C-alpha cells in the first residue's frame, strides 16, 4: 500500500470525483469497485484511522467509518486480538477529541461504530464500555455525547438485528436490564437539575387569566393540592444548551420505555419530571414571545421548546401503550392520567384572550398529534382499568375530550378524535352487553355526554352550522378506499351517530328527525317556485343569496338522508314493535319525498346556477331513494306482521315507492339517479317480495320497457340490475305463503317469456352464423366473455344443466385446450389468453367440488390437463399468471375427492384398529405434492402463502401429514424446504406461518424428527463446522409443544445464519479447531 498521506489525497480526489455531477455512471461503478477492494484488504482499518484523524472531507470520513462498520459486523471474529484492542482504544479517543467539531451525522456514525464493538465484546473484552458511557453522561462537558451513546446503545443492543446468536441477544438484554435503574436515575437527575436551575431564575410571569387554574375539576383530578400547585409553576426559560440536553435525555427515555417492562424503576419523581416537560408543548406564551420579539432566534427557540413537549409526550405514550400493567404500577398510572388531564384542561381552557380553537392552533401540530395518540391509548387500553377508581372523574374527562375534539384546527385531527369517541362508544356497548343488569345505571351516567356528542357531530356535517370548514373538503379526488375526503368525513361522522343510536335510540331519533324535517320542508316547498318556460320547467330562484342558502340546505338534506338510512338497522328485529311508529314516520316521509322528486322532475329542471344546484337536486333525489332502500328489511318485517290482517298501509307504501321508481328507469335520466332507482327496485323485488308486486302497473311498465327491443337500451349496469329485479320477482318464493299458493306454473311461463325476450337478438345470431368451422382464437375477448358466461352457468345451474350437456361442454373445452394452444395463451404475460385459461381452471374448480358421482369420471382428465399440460408451461416461469388458479384447482381436487386417492372403508379401519387406507392413483398424488413442494422454492410470496394454507387445510381436514405415503416419502423433504426458506429469509413476512406448518409436520413423527431428520439437516448444512453443528443440535431442545418448538426453530435459523457470518469473516486459511 502507498503511504498514508498519499492514500488520503487519492481517496479525497476519488470521493470528490464520485459525487461530482459530471461523473458518468460507468466511472462511478469503477470507483465503487476500487473502494470495495480497498475495504476488503487486511489492515485497511489502519489507513481509515489515519484518514479519520487527518481529513475534513465528510465523504472520506463516512467511507472510513463504513469500513470500520463492515469490519466489526462481518469480520470481527477474524481480527487479531491485538488489533481489536487498538481499535477499541483509538475510536473512543478520536470521538472524545473531535466530537464538538465533527458534523453531527459523522459523530453519530462514529458513536454507532463504537456501540457495534460493545455489542460484540461487552463485557468480556470491553469491560468498561458501559461505565464509559455513564461517565460521559455525568461529566457536564460531555453530557450530550454520553446521551447520544446511551440512545444508540439502547437501539442497537436491546433489540439487535440478526447478526448475533440468540444466546448473545439474551445476554445483552439481561446486561442492559441490570443497568436500567442507574440509567433512569441519571436521566431523572439531569432533567430535574436543569428544570430546578432555571425555575429559580425564571422571571415571575405577568398576572394572566390562566393563573388560578386549580378549579374544581383540577382538584378532583389531582388529589393533592401540592401536585396542582407544582404543575402551576411558570415554565422556565431554558438556554439552547439546556434545551439540547433535555431533548436528548427525553429521546433516550422514549427509546428505553419502548422495551423495558413497567416496574418501580420508573419512579414517581421521573414521571412528574416528564410531565413538567410535557407542559412545554401547551405553553402558548413561548410562541407569542418569539413573535413579539420578532427575531428568528426566538422563533427557533419557541419551536425547540415545543419539541420538548412533543418528546415528553412520546415518553408518556410509550408507557401508555403497554397493556400489561403490574399491580404495583397501577397507582403510578393513575397519577399519569391525572397529570395528563391537567394538561388537557390547560389546553382546552377558554378565557377572554383565547378561544379554545385559537389556543390549539397556536400549539405545535406534532404536539397535538401526540396528545391525541395519548387519548386514544387511554380509551382503548386503560379506560376499563381506570373507570373503577372512584377518584377518577370519567364524565369530566369526557367533557374535556368533547372540547378538545370539536376545537381541532385540522380535519385530520378531528377524524382522529372521532376515532377515539368510536372506541369509547364500542367500550360502552360491550360493557352494557356484559352487564345487562346495570344497563340503566351505566347509560344514566353517560347520557348527557352522548346526547351532546350526537348533537355536535350532526351540526358538524351541516353547512348550516359549519359551512366554512365543509367547503374546504375535497369532494372529487378519490383516496385508496375509493372515497373522497368529504365522503370519508360524512361516513366517519355517521358511524358515531349510529353508535349513539344503538345506545340511546329514542334520544338519537328525537335529535335527528326534527333536523331532517326542517330541510325536507325547504325541499318540498320548491314546487311553488317551479314555473313553465318555453324549453321546459325552470326553478324561479335567482337571487345569489337565495341560491347559496338553497345549495346549503340541499347539501344538508342529502347528508341527513344518509344519516337516516344508516340508522335503519336499529328499527328491525326484536325492537320492531317498540320503535314501529318512529320507523313508519321515516318511511312515509321517504316515500313522499321520492315520489315528489320523480313527479315534478327536479332532476331535469333549469336553475339559475346549473353547475351547483342541478347536481344538488339530483343528489338529494338519489339519496332519498338510497335511504328508502336501507329500510327494505324493515318493510319486509312490516309485511310479515300485517299481510293477514290489514295490509292496506303497506300496499300503499310499496305502490307509491314503485310509482317514484318507474319514471326514473330511462336512458334519459342521469346515471347516479338511475342506478339509485334500480338498486331500490332490486331490494323491493329481493328482500321485501310482496305477492302483489307483479300486478302493480308500474312493475308491468318496467317489464314492457325492458322487453321492448325498440326502446333505447339502458346503460349496462342499470340494465343488469333491472333484469335481476324482474327475474327475482318471478323466481323468489313469496314470503308468508305456503308452497301450494306460490303459483309456480304461471310464474314459470312468465319467466320463460322474459328470458326469451331478453335473449332474442342473441339467439338470432345462430341462424346468421354460417361461418366455416375455425380454430378458436384464444386471444379473442369474445372467448373471455364466453368463459365468464360458462363459469357463471356452472356456479349457478350445474345441477339443472344435466349430466350429458355438462359432459359435452367440459369435453369440448378439454379438446380445445391443447398443449400448443395453452402454451400460446399463457406465454403472453397478463394477456387475455391468460385470463381465458384462468377462467377455464375456475370452471374445473366448480366441477371437481361437486359432491356425488356425476362428475367423477372427469377427474383423470382434469388431473392430466393440470399436471401434464398446464403445469410444465408455468412451473419455471416467474410470472404469477395462472399459478394461483392452477394450485387452487389441485387443492380442490384433493380436498373434495380424497377417496379418489385414499380408499377408506369403515370395516377395514375397525378390524385393523387404525385406518391405514389403500392408496390409489399414487403417481398422480405424488406429482401434485411435488408441484406444491416446487412452489415453495419460488419467490412469489402470495403463492407461497396460499399453498402453505392449502397443505395445512388438507392436514386439518384429511390428516394429510399422517398418511403413510406422505410420512414416509415426503414429510421431511417439506420440512427441509421450509427450514431452508427461513434460513434464506426469502419469505420473512410468513415466518410465523412457516414455523407453525413445520411444527405440524414434525409433530407427526417427533422421534424421527429429532433422531434422524435434525442430525441429517445439520450434517448437510454448509458454511458451519462440526463443533458449531453440535452446538446448534444441543440448543434445539426436544420440546413437543408448539410455542417452544417454533422458538427452537427460529433460534436454529438465527444461529445458523450467525455462524455462517462469523465463518465468512475469518481470514482465508484460518485453522478451526
- In this predicted structure, the answer to whether residue 545 has a pLDDT above a threshold of 50 is yes
Sign of CA dihedral 948, 950, 953, 959: negative
For residue 116, the number of C-alpha atoms closer than 13 Å in the C-beta half-sphere is: 23
- In this predicted structure, the answer to whether residue 778 has a pLDDT above a threshold of 50 is no
pLDDT value of position 212: 39
Alpha helices in 232-283 (DSSP H): 240-259, 268-278
Which three three-digit cell numbers place residue 669?
335520466
pLDDT value of position 211: 37
Asked if 111 and 94 count as a contact pair (C-beta separation under 8 A), the reply is: no
- In this predicted structure, the answer to whether residue 46 has a pLDDT above a threshold of 80 is yes
% of the chain residues with pLDDT over 70: 90
Average pLDDT of 31-60? 87
pLDDT tens digits for range 204-229: 444 443 333 434 444 444 444 455 55
- In this predicted structure, the answer to whether residue 689 has a pLDDT above a threshold of 80 is yes
pLDDT value of position 911: 53
pLDDT tens digits for range 999-1019: 999 999 999 999 999 999 999
Sign of CA dihedral 804, 805, 808, 811: negative
Angle at Cα 321 formed by Cα 320 and Cα 327, nearest 5°? 60
Average pLDDT of 689-717? 87
- In this predicted structure, the answer to whether residue 290 has a pLDDT above a threshold of 50 is no
Average pLDDT of 926-948? 92
Identify each DSSP E strand in 858-955 by its residue range: 902-903, 918-919
The string of DSSP codes covering 388-439 is T-TTS-HHHHHHHHHHHHHT-SSHHHHHHHHHHHHHHHHHHHHHHHH-GGGH
pLDDT value of position 722: 94
pLDDT value of position 215: 41
pLDDT confidence tier of residue 1071, bands split at 50, 70 and 90: very low
Write the CB contacts of 1045 (distance below 8 Å, at least 6 apart in sequence).
Answer: 998, 999, 1002, 1003, 1039
Q: What Cα–Cα distance (Å) separates residue 83 from each residue in 44, 124, 886?
A: 12, 16, 59
pLDDT tens digits for range 343-357: 888 888 876 656 777
pLDDT confidence tier of residue 929, bands split at 50, 70 and 90: very high
Alpha helices in 525-543 (DSSP H): none
Residue 56: burial class (beta carbons within 10 Å; 0-12, 13-18, 19+): exposed
Which three three-digit cell numbers place residue 86?
487498538
- For residue 530, the cross-strand partners are 539
Least confident of 31-45, 371-385, 928-942: 31-45
The single residue listed with the C-alpha cell 324482474 is 726
pLDDT confidence tier of residue 5, bands split at 50, 70 and 90: confident
Alpha helices in 55-100 (DSSP H): 58-74, 81-98
Least confident of 174-188, 462-476, 824-838, 1043-1057: 824-838
pLDDT value of position 809: 85
Q: Distance (Å, rounded) from C-alpha 935 to C-alpha 883?
A: 9
Angle at Cα 332 formed by Cα 154 and Cα 444, nearest 5°? 130
pLDDT tens digits for range 491-530: 999 999 999 999 999 889 999 999 999 999 999 998 888 8
For residue 321, the number of C-alpha atoms closer than 13 Å in the C-beta half-sphere is: 13
Average pLDDT of 316-324? 87
Average pLDDT of 122-135? 92
pLDDT confidence tier of residue 303, bands split at 50, 70 and 90: low
pLDDT value of position 225: 47
Average pLDDT of 882-894? 92
Phi-psi label, residue 660: left if phi above 0, alpha if psi -120 to 50, beta otherwise: alpha
pLDDT value of position 8: 85
Tell me which residue of 1066, 1008, 1006, 1068 sits closest to 1038, measured CA to CA. Answer: 1006
Tell me which residue of 404, 187, 201 sits closest to 312, measured CA to CA. Answer: 187
pLDDT value of position 1061: 81
DSSP-derived secondary structure letter, 477 = -
Write the CB contacts of 563 (distance below 8 Å, at least 6 apart in sequence).
Answer: 458, 461, 494, 497, 512, 516
- In this predicted structure, the answer to whether residue 1069 has a pLDDT above a threshold of 50 is yes
Average pLDDT of 935-959? 92
Least confident of 23-32, 745-754, 903-912, 951-960: 903-912
- In this predicted structure, the answer to whether residue 923 has a pLDDT above a threshold of 50 is yes
Amino acid at each position: 500500500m502507498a503511504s498514508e498521506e498519499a492514500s488520503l489525497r487519492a481517496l479525497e480526489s476519488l470521493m470528490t470525483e464520485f459525487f461530482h455531477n459530471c461523473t458518468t455512471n460507468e466511472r462511478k461503478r469503477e470507483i465503487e469497485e476500487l473502494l470495495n477492494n480497498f475495504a476488503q484488504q487486511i489492515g485497511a482499518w489502519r489507513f481509515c484511522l489515519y484518514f479519520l484523524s487527518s481529513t475534513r472531507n465528510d465523504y472520506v470520513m463516512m467511507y472510513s467509518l463504513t469500513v470500520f462498520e463492515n469490519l466489526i459486523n462481518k469480520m470481527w471474529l477474524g481480527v487479531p486480538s491485538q488489533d481489536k484492542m487498538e481499535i477499541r482504544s483509538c475510536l473512543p479517543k478520536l470521538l472524545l477529541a473531535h466530537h464538538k467539531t465533527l458534523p453531527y451525522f459523522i459523530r453519530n456514525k462514529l458513536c454507532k461504530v463504537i456501540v457495534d464493538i460493545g455489542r460484540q465484546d461487552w463485557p468480556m473484552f470491553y469491560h468498561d464500555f458501559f461505565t464509559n458511557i455513564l461517565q460521559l453522561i455525568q461529566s457536564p462537558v460531555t453530557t450530550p455525547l454520553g446521551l447520544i451513546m446511551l440512545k444508540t446503545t439502547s437501539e442497537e443492543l436491546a433489540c439487535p438485528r440478526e447478526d448475533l446468536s440468540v444466546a448473545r441477544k439474551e445476554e445483552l438484554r439481561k446486561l442492559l436490564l441490570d443497568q436500567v435503574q442507574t440509567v433512569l436515575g441519571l436521566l431523572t437527575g439531569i432533567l430535574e437539575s436543569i428544570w430546578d436551575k432555571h425555575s429559580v431564575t425564571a422571571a415571575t410571569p405577568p398576572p394572566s387569566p390562566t393563573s388560578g387554574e386549580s378549579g374544581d375539576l383540577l382538584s378532583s383530578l389531582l388529589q393533592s393540592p401540592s401536585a396542582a400547585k407544582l404543575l402551576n409553576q411558570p415554565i422556565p426559560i431554558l438556554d439552547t444548551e439546556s434545551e439540547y440536553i433535555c431533548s436528548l435525555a427525553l429521546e433516550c427515555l422514549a427509546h428505553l420505555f419502548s422495551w423495558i417492562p413497567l416496574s418501580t424503576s420508573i419512579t414517581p419523581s421521573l414521571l412528574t419530571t416528564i410531565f413538567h416537560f410535557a407542559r412545554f408543548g401547551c405553553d402558548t406564551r413561548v410562541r407569542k414571545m418569539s413573535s413579539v420579539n420578532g427575531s428568528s432566534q426566538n422563533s427557533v427557540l419557541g419551536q425547540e421548546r415545543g419539541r420538548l413537549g412533543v418528546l415528553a409526550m412520546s415518553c408518556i405514550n410509550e408507557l401508555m401503550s403497554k397493556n400489561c400493567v403490574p399491580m404495583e404500577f397501577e397507582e403510578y398510572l393513575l397519577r399519569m392520567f391525572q397529570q395528563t388531564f391537567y394538561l388537557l384542561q390547560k389546553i382546552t381552557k377558554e378565557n377572554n384572550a383565547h378561544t379554545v380553537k385559537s389556543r390549539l392552533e397556536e400549539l405545535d401540530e406534532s404536539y397535538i398529534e401526540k396528545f391525541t395518540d395519548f387519548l386514544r391509548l387511554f380509551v382503548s387500553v386503560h379506560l376499563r382499568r381506570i373507570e373503577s377508581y372512584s377518584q377518577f372523574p370519567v364524565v369530566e374527562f369526557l367533557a374535556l375530550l368533547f372540547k378538545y375534539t370539536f376545537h381541532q384546527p385540522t380535519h385530520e385531527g378531528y377524524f382522529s378524535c372521532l376515532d377515539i369517541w368510536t372506541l369509547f362508544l364500542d367500550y360502552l356497548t360491550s360493557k352494557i352487553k356484559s352487564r345487562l343488569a346495570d344497563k340503566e345505571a351505566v347509560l344514566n351516567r353517560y347520557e348527557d355526554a352522548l346526547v351532546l356528542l350526537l348533537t355536535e357531530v350532526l351540526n358538524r356535517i351541516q353547512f348550516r352550522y359549519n359551512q366554512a370548514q365543509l367547503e374546504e373538503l375535497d369532494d372529487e379526488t378519490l383516496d385508496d378506499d375509493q372515497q373522497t375526503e368529504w365522503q370519508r368525513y360524512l361516513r366517519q361522522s355517521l358511524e358515531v351517530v349510529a353508535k349513539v343510536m344503538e345506545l340511546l335510540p329514542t334520544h338519537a331519533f328525537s335529535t335527528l328527525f326534527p333536523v331532517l324535517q326542517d330541510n325536507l320542508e325547504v325541499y318540498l316547498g320548491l314546487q311553488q317556485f317551479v314555473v313553465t318556460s318555453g324549453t321546459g320547467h325552470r326553478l324561479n330562484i335567482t337571487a345569489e343569496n337565495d341560491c347559496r342558502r338553497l345549495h346549503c340546505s340541499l347539501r344538508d338534506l342529502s347528508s341527513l338522508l344518509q344519516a337516516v338510512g344508516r340508522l335503519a338497522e336499529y328499527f328491525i328485529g326484536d325492537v320492531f314493535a317498540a320503535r314501529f311508529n318512529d320507523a313508519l314516520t321515516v318511511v312515509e316521509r321517504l316515500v313522499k319525498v321520492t315520489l315528489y322528486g320523480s313527479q315534478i322532475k327536479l332532476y331535469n329542471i333549469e336553475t339559475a346556477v346549473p353547475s351547483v344546484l342541478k347536481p344538488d337536486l339530483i343528489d338529494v333525489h338519489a339519496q332519498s331513494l338510497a335511504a328508502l332502500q336501507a329500510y327494505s328489511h324493515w318493510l319486509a318485517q312490516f309485511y310479515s306482521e300485517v299481510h293477514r290482517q290489514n295490509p292496506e298501509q303497506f300496499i300503499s307504501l310499496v305502490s307509491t315507492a314503485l310509482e317514484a321508481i318507474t319514471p326514473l328507469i330511462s336512458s334519459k335520466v342521469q346515471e347516479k339517479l338511475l342506478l339509485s332507482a334500480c338498486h331500490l327496485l332490486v331490494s323491493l323485488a329481493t328482500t321485501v317480495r310482496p305477492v302483489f308486486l307483479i300486478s302493480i302497473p308500474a312493475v308491468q311498465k318496467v317489464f314492457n320497457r325492458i322487453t321492448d327491443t325498440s326502446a333505447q337500451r339502458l346503460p349496462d349496469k342499470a340494465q343488469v340490475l333491472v333484469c335481476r329485479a324482474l327475474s327475482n320477482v318471478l323466481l323468489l318464493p313469496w314470503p308468508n305463503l305456503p308452497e301450494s299458493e306460490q303459483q309456480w306454473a304461471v310464474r314459470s311461463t312468465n319467466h320463460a317469456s322474459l328470458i326469451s325476450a331478453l335473449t332474442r337478438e342473441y339467439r338470432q345470431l345462430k341462424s346468421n352464423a354460417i361461418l366455416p368451422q375455425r380454430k378458436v382464437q384464444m386471444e379473442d375477448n369474445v372467448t373471455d366473455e364466453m368463459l365468464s358466461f360458462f363459469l357463471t352457468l356452472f356456479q349457478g345451474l350445474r345441477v339443472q344443466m344435466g349430466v350429458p350437456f355438462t359432459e359435452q361442454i367440459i369435453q369440448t373445452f378439454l379438446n380445445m385446450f391443447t398443449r400448443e394452444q395453452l402454451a400460446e395463451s399463457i406465454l403472453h404475460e397478463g394477456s387475455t389468453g391468460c385470463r381465458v385459461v384462468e377462467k377455464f381452471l375456475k370452471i374445473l374448480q366448480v366441477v371437481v367440488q361437486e359432491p356425488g358421482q356425476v362428475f367423477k369420471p372427469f377427474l383423470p382428465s382434469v388431473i392430466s390437463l393440470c399436471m401434464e399440460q398446464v403445469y410444465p408451461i408455468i412451473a419455471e416461469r416467474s410470472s404469477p399468471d395462472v399459478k394461483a388458479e392452477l394450485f387452487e384447482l389441485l387443492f380442490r381436487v384433493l380436498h373434495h375427492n380424497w377417496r379418489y386417492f385414499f380408499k377408506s372403508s369403515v370395516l377395514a379401519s375397525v378390524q385393523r384398529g387404525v385406518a391405514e387406507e389403500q392408496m390409489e392413483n399414487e403417481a398422480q398424488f405424488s406429482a401434485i405434492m411435488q408441484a406444491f413442494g416446487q412452489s415453495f422454492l419460488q419467490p412469489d410470496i402470495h403463492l407461497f402463502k396460499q399453498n402453505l394454507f392449502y397443505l395445512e387445510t388438507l392436514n386439518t381436514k384429511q390428516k394429510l401429514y399422517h398418511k403413510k405415503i406422505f410420512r414416509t416419502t415426503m414429510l421431511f423433504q417439506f420440512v427441509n424446504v421450509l427450514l431452508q426458506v427461513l434460513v434464506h429469509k426469502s419469505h420473512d413476512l410468513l415466518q410465523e406461518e412457516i414455523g407453525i406448518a413445520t411444527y405440524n409436520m414434525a409433530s407427526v413423527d417427533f422421534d424421527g424428527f429429532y433422531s434422524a431428520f435434525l442430525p441429517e439437516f445439520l450434517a448437510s448444512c454448509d458454511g458451519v463446522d462440526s463443533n458449531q453443528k453440535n452446538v446448534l443440535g444441543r440448543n434445539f431442545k426436544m420440546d413437543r409443544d408448539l410455542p417452544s418448538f417454533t422458538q427452537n426453530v427460529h433460534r436454529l435459523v438465527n444461529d445458523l445464519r450467525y455462524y455462517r457470518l462469523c465463518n465468512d469473516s475469518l481470514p482465508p486459511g484460518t485453522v478451526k479447531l
